[in-house]
Amino acid sequence: MAGSSLEEILRTGRPRIIDDLIAYLAQKPDSMSTRLLVGEGVRSSLTCPLIVGDTAVGFMFFSSREPHTYDDGHVLAFQSLAALVSGTVARALEAPRLFTDA
């Protein structure tokens, strides 16, 4: 994760919008993940961190085939969704194991 663009999302805890992945790839031509997304036809993305307490446990990625899809309204809605998912992850991590190794 160190050195990746996701590191900044973890550090700030804030979602990131890339509204033109083709332009982003032109600025960061070594980004293999961006190259793969563009190759699949994705043109904009919104990435939300999943945070439990002070610990990042993952990300939620939203993608669109259209550039300039996401705005601040999407960020608010997806942050609410990410908070729900994070709560579910936290409860799963706290739940006792149903199976144990014999």
For each of the domains in the chain, give its residue range(s) and CATH number, in order of start.
6-94 (3.30.450.40)
- Dmax of the chain from CA atoms? 54
44: nearest Cα among 20, 12, 8, 76: 20
pTM of the predicted model as reported, rounded to 2 decimal places:
0.75
Helix (H/G/I), strand (E/B), else coil: 80: helix
pLDDT in tens, 27-86: 999 999 999 999 999 999 999 988 887 777 789 899 999 999 999 888 878 887 877 788
